[in-house]
Amino acid sequence: MLRSALQAADPAPPPKVSFDEAARHADEAAGWVEQNWSTWLSTGLRIVLILAVAIVLRHLVRRALFKLIERMNRSAQAVQGSALGGLLVNAERRRQRSEAIGSVLRSVASFLILGTAGLMILGAFSVNLAPLLASAGVAGVAIGFGARNLVTDFLSGVFMILEDQYGVGDSVDAGVASGEVIEVGLRVTKLRGDDGEIWYVRNGEIKRIGNLSQGWSTATVDVTVRPTEDLDKVREVISEAGDALSKAEPWNEALWGPVEILGLTEVLLDSMTVRISARTMPGKSLSVERELRWRVKRAFDEAGIRIVGGLPALVEDSPADPTATMAAPSAFASTTSPQSVAATPLTPPPNLTK
């Protein structure tokens, strides 16, 4: 039994191949290679040509995009060096916007070129692309449904950057948060709030955006004075303060128009309100309003014009009433009054004293 088991475990010896049979197999392989070498060569050359064209085209497109981004940055730096460069161009904003646009364009170009080259290579191998494309379409739809928030954020970021809705350094109100933009990305925008906090806002969640740093801003100041003040004098004092502000450094650059007196916005029995307005450069309205209030208050103090509002004015002291500390007359002061008689203790009869 042991011998039979060992014989069963031993592998069978390989079959012997004769020389004639080996030569026949070699002739068949050589004939098959001879018949198909031209197809292999043409297919290989076609694949090499496709790869070479794709690599060269991708390199040229990426280089052209790099040149375009560098030209955008150079134009921004040239404008920034001019007198109005600081007002019209933010270098960091332009840099981030150009880099984001360049990244998107390079990614799209690489995907299109390499994807087309891959499909052409598969076609060179006589691969049926219809099932592959159908599977890719189904997978794309599934990924789109699963990552719809990410796709929404990405597309919103792309259109936001292309349309230049806001950039680094802008003060914006995004609905869910507001503050100064410190970074712009394709998926998330970073805002720094008034208290120093940083808000990370997804681009897909921004339904509306209010940019407070584009175009120009308006500084509006309301001054409340007594109704008995001379309006012509008030107008003259405010005009002088506004002219002084427009000529002083650095407010002459922040003001983009003269300080205008719009007129009375409210007239009450104890006060009247004069509204002042001025057009300023973006983001400078609050500082101009503070300085304008400061100068108008000093000018009113010098001209003797009193500003009212807030707490009521103190009433001047009147002479003290001499009867204020006197007590009211009492019924017990008179001994004959009924109250005094009722309060007087009774005197006992003489016979009860012993």
Residue 254 contacts residue 280 (beta carbons within 8 Å): yes
Q: Which residues contact 216 (CB under 8 A, 6 or more apart)?
A: 256, 279, 280, 281, 282
CA distance 243 to 295: 11
pLDDT for res 47? 85
pLDDT for res 275? 93
Residue given tokens 């009247």 in the structure block? 272
- Cα 50 to chain centroid distance, Å, stands at 44
pLDDT for res 88? 45
Q: Is the pLDDT confidence value at 176 over 60?
A: yes
In angstroms, what CA-CA distances link 297 with 205, 248, 264? 44, 17, 18
User: What average pLDDT does range 275-291 have in this prediction?
Assistant: 87
**Greatest mean pLDDT range, 30-39, 160-169, 286-295:** 286-295
Residue 50 one-letter amino acid: I
CA distance 192 to 324: 62
User: What average pLDDT does range 142-165 have in this prediction?
Assistant: 78
Residue 326 one-letter amino acid: M
pLDDT for res 229? 87
Q: Is the pLDDT confidence value at 172 over 60?
A: yes
Residue 70 one-letter amino acid: E
**Greatest mean pLDDT range, 39-43, 81-85, 230-234:** 230-234
pLDDT for res 330? 59
Q: Could you tell me if residue 211 is left (phi over 0), alpha (psi between -120 and 50 degrees) or otherwise beta?
A: beta
Residue with more model confidence, 314 or 150: 150
Q: Please report, to the nearest 10 degrees, the dihedral formed by the alpha carbons of residues 287, 293, 298, 302 taken in order.
A: 150
pLDDT for res 11? 53
| Tokens found for residue 313 | 């004015």
Q: Please report, to the nearest 10 degrees, the dihedral formed by the alpha carbons of residues 268, 269, 270, 276 taken in order.
A: 20
CA distance 280 to 216: 6
CA distance 5 to 24: 39
Residue in 184, 256, 252, 170 with CA at minimum distance from that of residue 213: 170
Respond yes or no on whether the N-terminal peptide bond of residue 250 is cis (omega within 30° of 0): yes
CA distance 71 to 66: 9
Q: Which residues contact 240 (CB under 8 A, 6 or more apart)?
A: 299
pLDDT for res 294? 92
Residue 244 contacts residue 255 (beta carbons within 8 Å): no
Name the 3-class secondary structure at 217: strand
Residue with more model confidence, 324 or 122: 122
**Using one digit for the tens of pLDDT, what is the confidence trace for 197-243?**
899 998 888 888 888 777 788 889 999 999 888 889 999 999 999 88
CA distance 143 to 98: 29
pLDDT for res 35? 63
Confidence of residue 345 (pLDDT cuts 50, 70, 90): low
CA distance 220 to 292: 9
pLDDT for res 83? 43
Quickly count: other Cβ atoms within 10 Å of residue 76's Cβ: 21
> What percent helix, strand, coil does the chain show, rounded to 5?
55, 15, 30
> Mean of the per-residue pLDDT values for the chain?
76
pLDDT for res 6? 43
CA distance 222 to 61: 58
Q: Is the pLDDT confidence value at 57 over 80?
A: yes
**Using one digit for the tens of pLDDT, what is the confidence trace for 178-195?**
888 888 877 888 899 888
pLDDT for res 13? 55
| Tokens found for residue 225 | 């004075």
Name the 3-class secondary structure at 262: strand
Quickly count: other Cβ atoms within 10 Å of residue 262's Cβ: 11
pLDDT for res 211? 82
**Using one digit for the tens of pLDDT, what is the confidence trace for 325-334?**
555 565 555 6
